[in-house]
Structure 1
Amino acid sequence: MAEMLISGPEGRIEARYTPPPHEGASVALILHPHPRAGGTMQDPITIRLYQMFERKGFGVLRFNTRGVGRSQGVYDQGIGELEDAAWILDYLENMVESPRYVWCAGYSFGAWITLQLLMRRPEIDGFLAIAPPANHYDFSFLAPCPASGLIISGEEDAISKPSDVERALTKVRIQKGEVIDRESIEGANHFFTGKHDELIDICEAYVDRRLVEDEEKLRREAEAAAAKAGSRKPPLPRALPLKPEDNDPVE
C-alpha cells in the first residue's frame, strides 16, 4: 500500500492506494464517513472495505476529502466532496488501464457520495452503500439508478433506519436489468459496534456473487455476438469483368 498526495481540484488530496496484481484488473474506490463527525479514510469500516477489495485483487484507493487530514481545502456540504470523488475516480482509472470492473463503496456520508457518483459515472459496475443517512439526505436523484448494488443498514441505527432506507428507495427508479439488494444487520447501530466482521462478510459475499454473475453475463454476451456474426450470410462474390483475351473472337 502506497501513501500518496494527489493533485486535486482544491489542492492536494491525501490517499492510500494498492495497485492490482496485473493490468486490466478491477478497481474500487472507498469513501469515508462525514468529515464533520470525525470521518476520515482511517475510519475502521472504511479500512475494512479497502482490505476486502485488496484481497480480491482489485486496484483499490481510499482518500481524505477536502479539509480532512492532509487534504487541502474546506468542507463543502457534499458538493466539493463529490467533486473530489469524481476526480479521484479519474485518477484511479488512469492508474489501471482498461479496468475490468469499476466498483465504489462508501459508509454513511460516504454512501451518499457513492450513490451520487453513480449518476455521474456510467462506467461504475457495482456499489456498496453502508448505512446511507436516509433521514438526512434526499435520494430521489437516483432516477433511475444506473447500476446494481447493495445497501446495508443496522436494525438499531437511529441515523440510517431500515424503514427510512426502504421509504427512500420507494422513490427510486431502477434501470432495466439492474437490482438494488437490501440487507439489515440485527442489533447493529450506525457504527456497527461489535458487528464489523458480520458487515464485511455480507459485503464480501455480495461482491463474490456479483463477480461470478458479471463474468457469466460477459460470457453469454460474447457467445451471442459470435453466434450472430456466424449466422450472417457471406456476401455474394462481385462479378469480375472479362479480360480481353477471354472475350469470344469476333467473326
Structure 2
Amino acid sequence: MSQNQLIEGPVGKLEVKVEEPDNPAPGGAVAVLCHPHPLHGGTLTNKVVHILAATMNRLGATTVRFNFRGVGRSQGEFDNMIGELDDLRAVVEWVREQYPGAPLWLGGFSFGAQVALKMHAQVGAERLLVAAPPLSLYGTDDLPGIAIPWLVIQGSEDEVIDAARVRDWVARQTDNPPRLIWLDGASHFFHGRLNEVREAVIEEWPALSPAATAQGRGTRDE
C-alpha cells in the first residue's frame, strides 16, 4: 500500500509518502528516508531514495519518504540544513504517533545523508544508512558519534563529493565501524548501479546487529 499525505511541520505542511511492505517483518520497523539537496532537484521521488525505500520494503519495513520544506507540496523555504533538521524531527514525531513502539530506521542520500547523520541520535534511530554523504561539502566537526549499527554506501567515481574523504572518515570510526559498500566506478547518483545498491543493502542490512558489530566485521568492498 502506498499513499501520499500532508502532515504538520515546523513552518507549515510537509508532504510524506508512506509505503507498506507486502510482507511485514516481525518487529514492524519504520524506515524514514531523506532526499538530496532541495535546490538541486532533490525530492522524495529521487531514484536513489526510491530504490532505498523499495529495498527497505523488501526487508519488511514500512517506509516514509518526505519532501523537505519548499519542495513539492511541502510549505516553507529552503533553510540551508537548519530548518531541514526540524523537518526530519517533525516527520519522526509523526511516525512515532502513527506507529507507536516501532523500531526507527533512518536513511538518507547526499544532502539527506548529512541530515540523517546529524539527527540520528536526537530522533532515536536504531539503525542508520547513508549513501554518498557530502562530508567534503559540509564537514564532520558537528556530527555526533554513532553508537548504532550503520551502513555507508559510496561510489568511487563520485563527481559531486570527495569519495576518498568518505572512505577515510569511515576508516576512522574505530569504536563502532560501519558496514561499507564501496562501489568501484559508481557515480554520485549510482547511474546503472542501483540494482547493485539494492542487492548489497539486502545482503548487509540483516548483518547490522550488535553481535556483528562487536566482531569488528567493519567494511567490505563491492
What TM-score do you get using the length of structure 2 for normalisation? 0.86
State the distance in 2 between where 1:79 and 1:173 align: 29
Q: Is the 8 A contact 2:36 2:109 kept in 1?
A: yes
Aligned runs of 1:72-111 on 2, under 5 Å?
72-99=75-102, 101-111=103-113
* Match of residue 226 from structure 1: none
Q: Which one-letter code corresponds to 1:160 in the other structure?
A: I
Conservation of the 8 A alpha-carbon contact between 2:59 and 2:202 = no
- Structure 2 residue 135 is matched with structure 1 residue 134: yes
* Unaligned stretches of 5+ residues in structure 1: 218-251
2:41 aligned residue: 38
Structure-1 separation of matches of 2:204 and 2:95: 23
Displacement after TM superposition at 1:170 (Å):
6.0
CA distance in 2, matches of 1:89, 1:82: 11
What does residue 183 of structure 2 align with? 185
Deviation per residue, 1:5-63 (Å, 9 max, x gap): 11111100111112465995111001101011100001011111111112222121001
Equivalent pair of 1:13/1:71 in contact (CA under 8 Å) = yes
- Counterpart of 2:220? none
CA distance in 1 between partners of 2:71 and 2:178 (Å): 31
Larger Rg: 1
CA distance in 2, matches of 1:9, 1:60: 21
CA contact (8 A) 1:131 1:190 kept: yes
Q: Structure 1 pair 156/29, CA: closer, same or farther in 2 (3 Å)?
A: same
Instruction: Work out whether residues 23 and 97 of structure 1, in 8 Å CA contact, stay in contact via their aligned partners in 2.
Output: no
The structure showing larger relative contact order (alpha-carbon pairs under 8 Å, at least 6 residues apart) is 2
AA aligned to 1:198 is E
Query: Which ranges of structure 2 fall in alignment gaps of 5 or more residues?
Result: 213-222
Identity rate, percent:
31
- How many residues are treated as equivalent by the alignment? 209
Name the TM-score, length of structure 1 as normaliser: 0.77
